[in-house]
Chains A and B, each alone.
Chain A
Amino acid sequence: METTTAVDTGQRKNQIWAFIVTGIMILISFAYYKVNVYYMYLIAYIWFGFAYGMMLQYGRFCFASASRDLFAAGVPRMAVGILVALTFFSLIQATLASTNMSTFHPAPFGIHTLISGLIFGVGMVLAGGCASGSLYKIGEGNGTSFLAAFFGLCIGQAVFVDVTWFNFLVPQKWVDAAVVNAAARNIPVEKMTSSFDTYLAGYVWNQPTLQLSHTKAISEALPGAAKYFIGDSLLNALIPAALLLIVIYAFYSRKGFMKKRAKAKGGATGFGDEIAGIWNMITASKRTTIMGVIIGIVAGLHIFVMKGMQIKFGVANFGELLTRMGHAADTSIKGTVFDPGYWYITSQEGQLGGWILDKLGWNMRDNIFFGVNNGLPDPWRNPALWMSLGIVFGAMVMARLSNEFKFKLPKGELIVWGLMGGILMGVGSRPALGCNIGAFFIRVAGGDPSGWLYGTGMVGGAFIGVKFFNWWSERKMAKEMEAF
């Protein structure tokens, strides 16, 4: 009886906390609206972030888990969830693109995307979560994820884009090209000081962008909306996702399923059983798969709403609204701030890190990333950062409602893994201009093949990370078993 009462009290406490957090978010939203109607733009980011946070936590939706759990435990749950989300998101993306309501833009395509994904992939395994996964896990009270996000994605990323430590990696031809490209874009030399600036202006800006619907072959063969549905969605997302599902089934699920099936039928199995096996794999973790569907739809809706906001206020970037409200100092020299118009994770955390370092006296505006492109708004006026905070608080509410919230301070080896992983994720998200969400999920669904390049890198990095942890845990298990 006592135990039941304690459980009830704990549940009630968690529910009260869930209501308090939700209430605070509502109050914050009203306060912003009261200050200026332009903050509707920022409020939209808050609540989409909140929704992402709830869905990520409920579905245990983590991109690190997708490849890591395949390699470490042979479990395809998360890989399936992501491919399902991708399928739905790509169809909505195509619908939005065909009605001119998409904010999607492809990224420069090159080997840097693969390398960047590889670094990020190792980092996400060490940190115990990808960029979005780390945020939802912070909402669950996970201190290791906080270390990874704060010191890696925030501070690490900001330092990375501002230092000259990597000049030894920069060839002279990039330096020369950077000068030409910067002059062509009227970028003052004092805003181009870091190694990353030279890489960006001298190399990345010279790389081609690719979106299948915009290629000559597809846009000529398929005029109108068909090019988005067939080029961007079917060819770039749906067919590769279906093929990947079949490969994952063949390597990880088929054997166990067919064994059970053969036993149940008492005889040979056929093609119908293979189809049943694929369906069984997709529905094995209903909460993940269902969340995959909903996340895909919400991510599409997010694009629609942000485009609607831009049309309503007659802007293309929130920086214009900040300027109208008298906060021009928040923006870059182009008058912009980081405002992706869709689900994105890492750049805004870099802005938070940059803002903190700037306040501590480190000039963070003398680079392209903050000074020219993304600005350095105060955190409370940073729309994309509010999306990240929304993810944390949305996940916190869901974790509280499920009685899964627990403060866990990072201890021992987890401090090392969290810091190392976070820094690798921070560094790995910059060269490709995005992370598991911005560089993989959004791009693949938008018809940009560079998303698959980043995803391939991530999977390769996860494989390396899992190999390392397998070796590490084997050592510890052997030590424990000495006593047997």
Chain B
Amino acid sequence: MAMKFEKKGDGTYLLDVCGYVCPHPQIYAKKSLEKMSEGDIVEIILDNPSSVETIAQMCDQVGHDVMDKKTEGGKIYLKIKKG
């Protein structure tokens, strides 16, 4: 098991933290957003429901935009634009 943080294109990133439990998904989400520039977009894939609440509130406080959230096959997909 390993986390993946990839640059998918110009200003778009993918963070895959499936298999990880608290606090890893939220720590990696925070760190990946810190590495990005304003306006960049990251898609985060995770399967730890508890982390989603924390990531959503972190985005709200800091000013990032959670553009999309969906659940499929036990995995949660978040699309976040750095604000």
Q: Which residues of A contact B (CB under 8 A)?
A: 3, 7, 10, 60, 62, 64-65, 68-69, 72-75, 77-78, 125, 128-129, 137, 140, 142, 144-145, 252-253, 256, 259, 284-285, 287-288, 399, 402-404, 406, 408, 411-414, 466, 469-470, 473-474, 476-477, 480-481, 483-484
Residue of B nearest to A71 (CB): B23
- Chain A nearest Cβ from B25, distance in angstroms: 10
Assess whether B3 is in contact with A480, with CB atoms less than 8 Å apart.
yes
Assess whether B21 is in contact with A408, with CB atoms less than 8 Å apart.
yes
Contacts of B29 in A (CB 8 A): 73
Contacts of B27 in A (CB 8 A): 72-73, 469-470, 473
Q: A144-B21, A256-B63, A480-B6 are in contact. Are A411 and B1 (CB under 8 A)?
A: yes
Contacts of A140 in B (CB 8 A): 49
Contacts of A142 in B (CB 8 A): 21, 48
- Chain A nearest Cβ from B33, distance in angstroms: 10
Number of interface residues of B (CB under 8 A): 38
Having A73-B26, A142-B48, one finds 11 other A-B pairs with CB under 8 Å, namely A73-B23, A73-B30, A125-B23, A137-B22, A145-B21, A259-B63, A402-B49, A403-B74, A404-B49, A406-B47, A477-B5
Q: Which of B5, B20, B72 is close to A480, meaning CB atoms less than 8 Å apart?
A: B5
CA distance A404 to B55 in the complex (A): 17
Contacts of A75 in B (CB 8 A): 26, 54, 57-58, 61
Q: A62-B50, A469-B23 are in contact. Are A484 and B7 (CB under 8 A)?
A: yes
CA distance A256 to B58 in the complex (A): 11
Contacts of A78 in B (CB 8 A): 54
Contacts of B55 in A (CB 8 A): 73
Indicate whether B71 reaches chain A with its CB closer than 8 angstroms: yes
Assess whether B58 is in contact with A74, with CB atoms less than 8 Å apart.
yes
Q: DSSP class of A's interface residues: helix, strand, loop or mixed?
A: helix
Contact with A along B58-77 (1 / 0, CB 8 A): 10111100000001111000
Assess whether A256 is in contact with B53, with CB atoms less than 8 Å apart.
no
Q: A69-B26, A72-B23, A470-B27 are in contact. Are A408 and B54 (CB under 8 A)?
A: no
Contacts of A411 in B (CB 8 A): 1, 19
Contacts of B30 in A (CB 8 A): 72-73
CA distance A306 to B32 in the complex (A): 49
Contacts of B48 in A (CB 8 A): 142
Contacts of B31 in A (CB 8 A): 473-474, 477
Assess whether B49 is in contact with A466, with CB atoms less than 8 Å apart.
no
CA distance A477 to B24 in the complex (A): 12
Contacts of A7 in B (CB 8 A): 72
Q: Which of A145, A466, A474 is close to B23, meaning CB atoms less than 8 Å apart?
A: A466
Contacts of B53 in A (CB 8 A): 60, 77, 285, 287-288
Residue of B nearest to A144 (CB): B21
CA distance A146 to B73 in the complex (A): 22
Assess whether A284 is in contact with B23, with CB atoms less than 8 Å apart.
no
Contacts of B74 in A (CB 8 A): 403, 406
Contacts of A252 in B (CB 8 A): 61
Assess whether A137 is in contact with B50, with CB atoms less than 8 Å apart.
yes
Contacts of A65 in B (CB 8 A): 22-23, 50, 54
User: Closest 3 interchain pairs by CB?
Assistant: A411-B1, A480-B5, A406-B74
CA distance A69 to B61 in the complex (A): 13
Residue of A nearest to B18 (CB): A408
CA distance A259 to B63 in the complex (A): 10
CA distance A284 to B22 in the complex (A): 20
Contacts of B58 in A (CB 8 A): 73-75
Q: A74-B61, A412-B1 are in contact. Are A481 and B35 (CB under 8 A)?
A: yes
Assess whether A60 is in contact with B49, with CB atoms less than 8 Å apart.
yes
Q: Identify which of A7, A125, A142 gathers the most chain B CB atoms within 10 Å of its CB.
A: A142
13 A-B contact pairs sorted by A residue (CB < 8 Å): A60-B49, A65-B50, A68-B22, A69-B23, A74-B61, A145-B21, A256-B60, A285-B53, A411-B1, A412-B1, A414-B19, A469-B27, A480-B6
